[in-house]
């Protein structure tokens, strides 16, 4: 058996990726549930969205949208076997670089209050806690923590 040391490729989300992204959502209860139709709409609406591909397989994704001059990260997940390997970090870094190039000084997101690994990930990328939405998430009902990132001037 050979060990894989290749870096994941971060690239724009494309239509052939939709079933793979949907499968990642199915195994990620902490992520927002989106239908394949909603994912297809992301592409047709031109929202910023990326997948991480390793060894020819989609192993993670991040979807955002630009509102005024801010980037909002709407959904992100990584396959269970690919977690804690830097893939989520590379996706977040790609989104922040997109925001910088697009003139978006602020990036924000919501995360389940219990999602410690995501909270740690965003903290490593200098997101700061900016608020809380009580009982925001259903099934199970849970608070959302709001995080924001401010680009350096």
Left (φ > 0), alpha (ψ -120 to 50) or beta: where does 61 sit?
beta
**Distance, CA of 50 to CA of 13 (rounded, Å):** 5
Q: Which two tokens stand for residue 48?
A: 């910023």
- pLDDT of res. 120: 96
User: Which homologous superfamily does the CATH classification assign to the domain defined by 9-150?
Assistant: Gcn5-related N-acetyltransferase (GNAT) (3.40.630.30)
pTM, two decimal places: 0.92
17-67 pLDDT, tens digit each: 999 999 999 999 888 889 999 999 999 999 999 999 999 999 999 999 999
123-142 pLDDT, tens digit each: 999 999 999 999 998 878 99
67-121 pLDDT, tens digit each: 999 999 999 999 999 999 999 999 999 999 999 999 999 999 999 999 999 999 9
Q: 108-142: buried (b, 16+ CB within 10 Å) or exposed (e) per residue?
A: bbbbbbebeebbebbeeeebeeeeeeeeebeeeeb
Confidence check: pLDDT of 3 > 60 = no
Residue spans per domain, the chain: 9-150
């Amino acid at each position: 058996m050979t060990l894989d040391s290749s870096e994941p490729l971060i690239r724009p989300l494309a239509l052939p990726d939709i079933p793979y992204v949907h499968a990642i959502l199915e195994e990620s209860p902490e992520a927002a549930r989106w239908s394949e139709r909603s994912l297809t709409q992301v592409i047709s609406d031109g929202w910023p969205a990326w997948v991480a591909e390793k060894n020819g397989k989609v192993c993670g994704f991040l979807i955002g949208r630009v509102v005024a001059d801010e980037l909002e990260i709407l959904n992100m997940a990584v396959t269970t076997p690919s977690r804690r390997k830097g893939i989520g970090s590379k996706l977040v870094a790609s989104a922040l670089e997109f925001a910088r190039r697009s003139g978006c000084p602020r990036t924000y997101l919501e995360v389940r209050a219990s999602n410690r690994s995501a909270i740690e990930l965003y903290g490593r990328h200098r997101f700061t806690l900016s608020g809380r939405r009580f009982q925001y998430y259903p099934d199970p009902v849970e608070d959302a923590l709001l995080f924001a990132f401010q680009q350096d001037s």
